[in-house]
Structure 1
Amino acid sequence: MIGGFLGAGKTTSVAALAEHLSATGRKVGLITNDQGRELVDTAMLRSKGFATEEIPGGCFCCRFNSLVDAAGRLTESTRPDVFIAEPVGSCTDLVATVTYPLRRIYGDEFSIAPLSVLVDPVRAARVFGLSEGGQFSEKVIYIYRKQLEEADLIVINKTDLLEPNTLAALQAKLAEEFPNAEVLQISARTGEGLETWFTRITDAEQIARNVMEVDYEVYAEGEALLGWLNATVQLAGTEEFEARPVLQQLAGTMQTHLSEQGAEIAHLKMTLSPDTGLGGDVAIINLVRNDFVPELSADLDAPIESGQLIINLRAEGDPETLCAAVETALATAPAGLAATLDHLEHFRPGKPEPTHRVTDLA
């Protein structure tokens, strides 16, 4: 499993790992996960040609049987050598509720790799007091820290975002705070450090150790502070339009609205794919902090007349505030562009209720 808080770059890293494994001749099956449905992550991974199953409606710990079923479907369809699962970014206690149950119940069928937990270095530097900037509240940070506490590998992603001195201080701080984990540095975008990380994952199995204690009341309260929004929108222009400026304007409008309302963005992800053309053609934009610039990681090959927009927005704030931000952005879309809302859900995650919780493998 490749875990980590919202905005850590998990999906980009999962794709890089999948491409690496495929290049070495191993078939890969991917499993994405979310509290809602209509995931940007699933669309992005499928656009790259990977067999991908999506588990909506709750985290892996609460949808354990669905996780096993998804692995079964992938086995029937593509017979992968390796499964890569990406849990919800607000989920923790994965060792006790996912990997240990898998090992106890399905130990003859699965070999479990060390648990990697990715971190966005700017967010992590703020959490651990190494830099200033927008921050989550205490109970949300409780989840953030618990994710790191259970990690076998803490993987600092996006290493190009910090100055070398701050990056070194962050690595030292993480090693001090979480001595059971090995701390690595990577950039999923540039490829820096990936080989070392891939080797750690593929050449070892997860070592059994005592699971951490989790206060599920605080955990639930922390998740409930996060607003969740998924939407699918049909965009149609009176003439052909470019994906880049449209996505940038939509993201910028949402960013401004949320900042004005005091909602701290955890992750805004949007994809835009043409209604006609190759299935792998998709534009992707991300925003992971209020004071960050929306970043286009992929663009369409050519202008389009119409397309499907998928919006995944997570922020510490009221779901109605998130909904208003999206509605404002769509209402002020570029001239000549009509936006038709096909699907919208906005909510706060419910209290996690794991299917299993195994505290040891004896």
Structure 2
Amino acid sequence: MIGGFLGAGKTTAVARLARHLTDRGTRVGLICNDQSSGLVDTVLLRSKGFSVEEITGGCFCCRFNSLLDAADNLRRASAPDLFLAEPVGSCTDLIATVSYPLRRIYGDRFTVAPLSVLIDPARAARILGLAEGRSFSEKVTYVYRKQLEEADLIVVNKCDAHPPALLERLASTIGDTFPRAQTFVCSVKEGTGVDAWFDAVLSMDSRDSRPLEIDYDRYAEGEALLGWLNCTVQLEADAPFDGNQTLVDLASGIRDRVVAQGGDIAHLKMTLDSRDGTGTLSVVSLVGNDGEPDLRESLLDRVDRGELVINLRAEADPAVLESVTREAVTSLSGVRATMEHLEQLRPGRPVPTHRMTQ
């Protein structure tokens, strides 16, 4: 499993590791996970040619049987040698509720790798007291820190976008605060420094994994402060438009409106698929209230239509997220927008199928 809080770079990491394995002749199956349907992650990973199953409606711990079903579906479809699973970005307690049950109930079918947890340096520096700036409330921060506490491998991601001095301080603080975990510094986007982490994941050595001591009431309260929104929109125009710039402008518009309403963005991800048969997507990611839209992948040409998928996670009322998203989409210049699907929610209390502590 490759975990970490919303916006840490999990999907990019899954894609990077999956490509690394595929290039070496290993067949991989990918499993995405979310609280609701209409995932950018699934669209993105399938566009890269990977076999992907999607589990919605709850995290792996609460949809454990669905996790087994997803693995079975992938096994029948593509016979993978290895599964890469990306849990919900607000989920924790994965050792006790996923890793232990897989090893102890289904050990004849699965060997479980160490749990990786990715972090975004800017967000981690604020939460760990190394930098000033607005951060999440105490209850959401509790979930964030619990993710780090249970990690076997902590990956300080996005080293290409932050100064070495900050990365060194962050790695040192993580080593002191969470001494059981191995710490790696890399950029999964650029592929810098990933080899050592990949080797640790593929060692399959999770013998020292330990379950968390966790207060499920605080955990549930922290998750419930997060608003979730997924939507799918059809865009059309009378003349070809720049789909890449449209996504960048839309991301800025949604961010500004969330901030104006007093919310804290965890992660905003969007894709635009022109459906032109090339398999290319425009992909934009934005992390935090002070983040700028990051155009991760680009359409090759102007388009006159496309399917837009928006995934927005923030510490805010889900109804506010719906309102600002509808307003920002409606405000797009030069295109007609038809909303096909929209879900907004707060995550429910986690109720694991299994929880094994020894």
Q: TM-score, normalised by structure 1?
A: 0.98
CA distance in 2, matches of 1:210, 1:305: 52
The answer to whether the 8 A contact 1:35-1:88 is kept is yes
Deviations 1:222-273 (A, max 9, x none): 0000000000000001111111111011111101101111100000000000
Does 2:303 align with 1:309? no
1:353 matched to 2:355? The reply is no
| TM alignment of 1:199-218, pairs within 5 A | 199-218=199-218
1:271 corresponds in structure 2 to 271
Amino acid at match of 1:213: E
Match of 1:292 in 2: 291
The answer for the alignment partner of 2:176 in structure 1 is 176
How far did residue 328 of structure 1 move?
1.1
1:238 matched to 2:238? The reply is yes
Amino acid in structure 1 at the alignment position of 2:283: I
* 2:220 aligned residue: 220
Contact 1:134–1:291 (Cα < 8 Å) also in 2 = no
CA contact (8 A) 2:230 2:309 kept: yes
Cα distance in 1, alignment partners of residues 267 and 316 from structure 2: 12
Residue 156 of structure 2 corresponds to 156
Following superposition, the deviation at residue 190 of structure 1 comes to 1.5
Change (3 A) 1:209 1:114: closer
Give a deviation string over 1:276-298, Cα, whole Å, max 9, x none. 323x2111000011101111000
Q: Secondary structure at the match of 1:124?
A: helix
Give unmatched runs, 5+ long, in structure 1: none
| Equivalent residue, structure 1, for 2:108 | 108
Describe how 1:41-56 pairs up with structure 2 within 5 A. Answer: 41-56=41-56
| 1:67-104 CA distance string (max 9 Å, x none) | 00000000000000010000000000000000100001
Distance in 1, matches of 2:5 and 2:322, equals: 22
Q: Residues 83, 209 of structure 1: CA spacing in aligned structure 2 closer, same or farther, 3 A cutoff?
A: closer
Percent identity between the two aligned chains: 55
Tell whether 2:8 aligns with 1:12: no
The aligned residue for residue 86 of structure 2 is 86
What is the CA distance between 1:334 and its match in structure 2?
1.2
Q: TM-score, normalised by structure 2?
A: 0.99
Note the C-alpha offset of 1:134.
Answer: 2.1
CA contact (8 A) 2:152 2:209 kept: no
Looking at structure 2, the residues matched to 23 and 49 of structure 1 have their Cα atoms a distance apart, in angstroms, of 13
Contact 2:11 2:86 in 1 (8 A): yes
Query: Secondary structure of the residue that 1:188 maps to in structure 2?
Result: coil
Residue 166 of structure 2 corresponds to which residue in structure 1? 166
SS at match of 2:29: strand
Change (3 A) 1:209 1:196: closer
Q: What SS class does the counterpart of residue 244 from structure 1 fall into?
A: helix
Q: Report the 3-state secondary structure (helix = DSSP H, G, I; strand = E; otherwise coil) of the residue aligned with 1:232.
A: strand
Match of 1:140 in 2: 140
SS at 2:58 equivalent:
coil
The secondary structure found in structure 2 opposite 1:189 is: coil
Aligned-residue CA RMSD in angstroms?
0.8
Q: 2:173 aligns to what SS in structure 1?
A: helix
Aligned residues: 358
- Deviation for aligned residue 1:208: 4.1
Q: Which residue of 2 aligns with 1:74?
A: 74
**What's the secondary structure of 1:37's corresponding residue?**
coil
Secondary structure of 2:312 counterpart? strand
Cα distance in 2, alignment partners of residues 10 and 209 from structure 1: 20
